Amino acid sequence: MPYHHGDLRRALLDTALEAIGEHGPAAVSLRDVARRAGVSHAAPTHHFRDKAGLLTALATEGWSLLADALGEAAGQGFGEVGVGYVLFATSHPAHFAVMRAPGLARADDPELQAAMRRAEAQLQSGAERFATGSGRGNSATALAAWSLVHGLAALLLEGAVAPEPGSDVATLARDVTAHLRPPP
């Protein structure tokens, strides 16, 4: 839908998310985003300077949304933090794709780093609560749990697995995270 008025930056981000959903983050171009948004090819450069700026903004937004989702789930136990991760990935696939695309965003961007740290802190906090009293394995526990839920999210996004008929992603994620156990 062509841009007419209002928040051009938001319109460009939304248009880019749509394009990423169709072709992936590496294939996105500012010209295509401008064309899709119905603005001049130079308009995106006023907000993002270049493709890396656009993808950095999307990655920052994605990490912030993930941190919020994990924060909402944090009080419900570590398994629910994992469910929140999977639900985020499957409900924001374009953001998730940009977040996982190395070298496309500016890794040294302070806002991106802050958003990543906030999400990482939510994951780490959940893992530490999960492993409380074990005396070992907090970082390994966090990595194992992240690997499990990240792998499930990737499998769902790739279409390699799907919830059983009559079920949903949250139920599948809960079934999978139920296999997580704190270290002895």
Where exactly are the structural domains of the chain?
1-49, 51-177
Q: What is the pLDDT of residue 133?
A: 43
Name every residue whose Cβ is closer than 8 Å to that of residue 65 and which is 6 or more positions away in sequence.
Answer: 88, 92, 95
Q: How confident is the model at residue 125 (pLDDT cuts 50, 70, 90)?
A: confident
How many Cα neighbours within 13 Å face the side chain of 55?
Answer: 25
CA-closest candidate to residue 51, choices 75, 93, 20: 20
CATH 3.20.20.70 fits 51-177, yes or no: no
Name every residue whose Cβ is closer than 8 Å to that of residue 89 and which is 6 or more positions away in sequence.
Answer: 96, 150, 153, 154, 156, 157
**What is the pTM for the complete model shown?**
0.88
Q: What is the pLDDT of residue 138?
A: 62
Locate all alpha helices (DSSP H) within 38-137, ordered by sequence.
43-48, 51-74, 78-91, 93-99, 110-130
- Which has the minimum average pLDDT: 1-15, 24-38, 61-75, 89-103? 1-15
- Which has the minimum average pLDDT: 68-72, 170-174, 179-183? 179-183
Whole-angstrom Cα distance, residue 116 to residue 70? 12
Q: Which residue has the higher pLDDT, 156 or 132?
A: 156
Q: How many CB atoms lie within 10 A of CB 6?
A: 8
Of these ranges, 35-44, 71-80, 152-161, the one predicted with the greatest mean pLDDT is 152-161
> Do residues 130 and 182 touch, judged by C-beta distance below 8 A?
yes
Whole-angstrom Cα distance, residue 36 to residue 61? 21
Q: What is the pLDDT of residue 11?
A: 93
Q: What is the pLDDT of residue 58?
A: 98
Q: pLDDT exceeding 70 applies to what percent of the chain? A: 89
Whole-angstrom Cα distance, residue 97 to residue 17? 10
What are the φ/ψ torsions at residue 7 (nearest 5 degrees)?
A: -95, 95
| Domain spanning 1-49, CATH class | mainly alpha
Domains 1-49 and 51-177 share a fold: no
